[in-house]
């Protein structure tokens, strides 16, 4: 860049010197009339030849300096070797620091070009929702040149395909880089790590990271970042069973998103509010908020958000169907199956294995519930097979509970009990009281059917206690109805 500038300056100084020299030569003899007609400023310059001569000397001097500097830099750009000698006195040549710097600069430019090439390719794939291919190109980019941007987007791509362990490593490395360079990036990595730890079942760690991120966003006065973290903290509270805190957090986040007119944030907050209402047992409220979220997700073309909201809506339709007599369930079961099928298509397209497994499990559940065990069980087994590759314990627990419920309803009680005990164990491991209550309810039903009634009532009362402790109103009522029905049958 500098040599090119010096070439331009040398040429410019030379041009000015030529014009001044021409004027000093012709000015005394007088310019032709046509020259004075087209260049009237020449008349004003007449009589000022002394000033012009001084200016000419200055211009020539600076032109000489510019040209000398340019030639020097061109010489310095050439690889140079320095003479030296070994212990025997033989003359040898060694590389100079100039040559080393030239090679470093050339290598840096090459690395930047290759890293940018991979990053740009990954960006195109990310936009097309091809997250697995995007992750590979982000990985290539940071192998050439490690950057915060590369590690951030690599982690996001891995997170979208539910490779949470790899995503955690990417975010941790990015966080180390960001700590000394960029506070906003640091907050972003902290936030994403909070989400990863929530998926991995470490809820206290998730809460810690989200609070650290929130502190930074508050210091930066970043309203969007604050709203995102408040919502993330609400999600952790939901899984911890702190439903009032969760609802308050999501409502606060929604207010901020509306103030700053962020549609994606509004959709996420609406969906989260619907999820909390579902845990409260307020199914109509939950359905209302999820429908609003779905409408916004379709508007802004957010496939992962849309799939998640569709999945949640399918769950709500399922619960509403169960509350009706068997003869009145068809329409709601159809709507549940339709929502899960649309979610499944999206999850498969973007390569989200967690979502795919959950959607398949629900489709298998509805299919077997309708009496088509032959078709439904293989679908459940496909979901179970995907679980083997997942490190999302919350999803694995949920699917085991679903399969246990299905096997219980088709009379395969021993197999059902095995899956439900796995679900209870995983729920305890990740501190998920709702998941544990779900598993205990079905375990209690199995023991009653096995005619081990005392054990059944003990387990059902344990599930009831959890629901009362955490405010799971809908589930609490379901368990109480089950206890009352079994007491009447006894």
Q: What is the mean pLDDT of the chain?
A: 85
Cα end-to-end span (Å), the chain:
91
Average pLDDT, integer, range 302-324: 95
What does the pLDDT look like over 143-192, one tens digit per residue?
Answer: 999 999 999 999 999 998 888 899 999 999 999 999 988 899 999 999 99
Q: What percent of the chain has pLDDT over 90?
A: 63
Instruction: Assess whether pLDDT exceeds 80 at residue 28.
Output: no
Q: How far apart are CA 190 and CA 151, in angstroms?
A: 13
Tokens representing 149? 């941007």
* pLDDT at residue 473, as a whole number: 80
Q: How far apart are CA 251 and CA 461, in angstroms?
A: 33
* pLDDT at residue 13, as a whole number: 46
Instruction: Assess whether pLDDT exceeds 50 at residue 6.
Output: no
Q: How far apart are CA 247 and CA 269, in angstroms?
A: 10
What does the pLDDT look like over 393-435, one tens digit per residue?
Answer: 888 999 999 999 999 988 999 999 999 999 999 999 888 888 9
Average pLDDT, integer, range 467-484: 88
* pLDDT at residue 144, as a whole number: 95
Q: Which range among 25-29, 183-187, 216-220, 407-411 shows the weakest confidence by mean pLDDT?
A: 25-29
Reported residue count of the chain is 490
Instruction: Assess whether pLDDT exceeds 80 at residue 63.
Output: no
> How many angstroms separate the Cα of 485 from the Cα of each of 301, 455, 481?
47, 16, 6
Average pLDDT, integer, range 76-96: 62
Instruction: Assess whether pLDDT exceeds 90 at residue 73.
Output: no
Average pLDDT, integer, range 443-450: 95
* pLDDT at residue 52, as a whole number: 47
* pLDDT at residue 101, as a whole number: 79
Q: How far apart are CA 264 and CA 267, in angstroms?
A: 5
Confidence of residue 14 (pLDDT cuts 50, 70, 90): low
Would you say the pTM of this structure is higher than 0.85? Answer: no
Average pLDDT, integer, range 440-446: 95
DSSP state letters, 299-315: HHT-HHHHHHHHHHHHH
Confidence of residue 5 (pLDDT cuts 50, 70, 90): low
Average pLDDT, integer, range 452-473: 91
* pLDDT at residue 469, as a whole number: 87
DSSP state letters, 405-441: HHHHHTT-HHHHHHHHHHHHHHHHHTT-HHHHHHHHH
Instruction: Assess whether pLDDT exceeds 50 at residue 358.
Output: yes
Cβ neighbours of residue 138 under 8 Å, at least 6 residues apart? 118, 119, 122, 150, 153, 154, 157
Instruction: Assess whether pLDDT exceeds 60 at residue 94.
Output: yes
Describe the crossing of helices 473-489 and 433-449 by its angle, rounded to 10 degrees: 10
Q: Which of 351, 452, 367, 457 is nearest to 403 (CA)?
A: 367
Confidence of residue 35 (pLDDT cuts 50, 70, 90): very low
* pLDDT at residue 252, as a whole number: 97
| Sign of the torsion angle spanned by Cα atoms 216, 218, 222, 228 | positive
* pLDDT at residue 40, as a whole number: 58
CA 478 to chain centre: 37
Of the ranges 22-31, 159-168, 193-202, 337-346, which is most confident? 337-346
Tokens representing 319? 């619960």
């Amino acid at each position: 860049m500098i040599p090119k500038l010096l070439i331009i300056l040398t040429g410019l100084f030379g041009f000015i010197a030529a014009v001044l020299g021409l004027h000093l030569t012709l000015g005394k003899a007088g310019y032709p009339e046509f020259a004075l007609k087209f260049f009237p400023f020449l008349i004003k310059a007449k009589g000022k030849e002394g000033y012009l001569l001084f200016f000419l000397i200055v211009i020539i001097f600076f032109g000489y300096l510019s040209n000398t500097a340019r030639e020097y830099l061109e010489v310095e750009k050439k690889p140079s070797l320095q003479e030296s000698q070994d212990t025997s006195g033989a003359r040898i040549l060694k590389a100079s620091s100039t040559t080393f710097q030239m090679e470093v600069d050339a290598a840096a430019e090459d690395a930047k070009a290759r890293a940018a090439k991979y990053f740009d390719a990954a960006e195109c794939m990310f936009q097309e929702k091809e997250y697995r291919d995007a992750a590979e190109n982000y990985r290539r980019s940071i192998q050439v040149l490690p950057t915060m941007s590369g590690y951030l987007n690599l982690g996001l791509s891995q997170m979208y395909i539910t490779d949470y362990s790899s995503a955690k490593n990417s975010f941790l490395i990015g966080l180390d880089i960001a700590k000394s360079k960029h506070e906003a990036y640091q907050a972003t990595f902290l936030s994403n790590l909070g989400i990863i730890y929530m998926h991995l079942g470490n809820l206290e760690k998730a809460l810690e990271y989200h609070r650290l991120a929130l502190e930074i966003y508050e210091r930066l006065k970043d309203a969007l970042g604050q709203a995102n973290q408040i919502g993330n903290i609400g999600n952790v509270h939901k899984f911890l069973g702190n439903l009032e805190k969760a609802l308050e957090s999501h409502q606060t986040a929604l207010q901020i998103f509306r103030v700053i007119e962020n549609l994606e944030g509004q959709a996420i907050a609406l969906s989260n509010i619907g999820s909390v209402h579902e845990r409260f047992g307020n199914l109509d409220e939950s359905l209302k908020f999820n429908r609003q979220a779905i409408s916004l997700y379709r508007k802004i073309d957010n496939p992962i958000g849309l799939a998640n909201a569709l999945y949640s809506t399918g769950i709500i339709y399922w619960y509403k169907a169960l509350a009706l007599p068997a003869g009145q369930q068809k329409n709601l079961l159809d709507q549940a199956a339709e929502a899960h099928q649309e979610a499944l298509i999206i999850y498969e397209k973007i390569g989200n294995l967690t979502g795919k497994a959950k959607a398949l499990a629900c489709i298998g559940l509805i299919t077997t519930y309708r009496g088509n065990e032959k078709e439904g069980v293989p679908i459940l087994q496909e979901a179970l097979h995907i679980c083997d590759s997942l490190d999302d314990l919350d999803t694995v627990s949920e699917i085991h509970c679903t399969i246990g419920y299905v096997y219980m309803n088709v009379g395969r009680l021993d197999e059902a009990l095995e899956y439900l005990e796995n679900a209870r164990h995983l729920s305890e491991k990740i501190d998920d009281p709702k998941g544990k209550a779900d598993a205990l309810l079905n375990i209690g039903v199995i023991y009653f059917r096995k005619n081990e009634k005392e054990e059944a009532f003990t387990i059902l009362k344990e599930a009831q206690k959890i629901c009362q402790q955490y405010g799971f109103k809908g589930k609490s009522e379901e368990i109480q109805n089950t206890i009352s029905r079994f007491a009447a049958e006894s």
